[in-house]
Copies of this chain bind each other. A is one copy, B any other.
């Protein structure tokens, strides 16, 4: 069966014109915001959105405000033609690909911040990152006005920050988390995996393995502090250089758990460097 053609729009006005037409017919709109460099993980989110809506809009926007001054904004992979083909193949009908000036006009000066859930982990390791995310996601949700928006659990803290801000600001959209897509050896799919050397790619699955082992230990009643220490040692042994965090946190608000066994829904999350590439992953406990 041939897929419907994919339209590409670059302005908020054109995006809204498409969405308005669908909504006027009473049809549901799903939305998958991305930074491009798409892989099977993104496509699984598009398919999830397609199951819950009549039309799927994706955005590709490498958002400068969520990168720190020493991060990889300029180097971040940009592959729009290929992204468009992949989106069409997964059932996405509309790609919103604005430039930076369309998103941040001169005089732009508003910031959305989320206290609490955005503060530990990547919030501590990447100052300003989640304010950039919360602000651009608020904008994208206002622009696309979807009925449902899908975000990957791969960026678990981001997902929880977005759930919080959507609830707090009463943005009329349902937020759905999509399971992390993984390579056969367990490595979470990520656009940043493209940075890995052959040797680093071979070492990378140790991250998912360490988290899976930790989650099993916790389910068996192990203490949080010992489990975190063992996972950290496993990462170091596998060649991870700088470990930003390996922590067990409450699944909803990412509050600190431990030092003893966990009693409530929890998540174990990690961020660590292989060479110059920062990988993140997380697993439900």
Contacts and interface: CB of A to CB of B under 8 A. Distances in A.
A107 B161 CA distance: 12
A124 interface: no
A65 to B, nearest CB: 12
A263 interface: no
A232 interface: no
Contact of A164 (B109, B165, B169): B109
A10 interface: no
Interface string A165-180: 1011111100000000
A145 B169 CA distance: 12
Given A142-B169, A170-B142, A111 B115 contact: yes
Nearest to A144: B170
A115 B12 CA distance: 23
A243 B113 CA distance: 33
B115 A143 contact: no
B112 A12 contact: no
A109 B115 contact: yes
A114 to B, nearest CB: 5
Contacts of A117: 109
A21 interface: no
Interface secondary structure of A, over-half rule: mixed
Contacts of A170: 12, 139, 142-143
Contacts of A108: 168
A116 interface: yes
Nearest to A140: B170
A230 interface: no
A165 B108 CA distance: 9
A105 interface: yes
Nearest to A114: B110
A138 interface: yes
Interface string A129-145: 00000110011001101
Given A112-B169, A142-B170, 9 more contacts: A12-B170, A105-B167, A109-B115, A109-B117, A110-B115, A110-B169, A111-B114, A135-B169, A139-B168
29 contacts: A12-B170, A16-B172, A105-B167, A107-B164, A107-B253, A108-B168, A109-B115, A109-B116, A109-B168, A110-B114, A110-B115, A110-B134, A110-B164, A110-B165, A110-B169, A111-B113, A111-B114, A111-B115, A112-B112, A112-B169, A113-B113, A138-B169, A139-B168, A139-B169, A139-B170, A142-B169, A142-B171, A142-B172, A143-B170
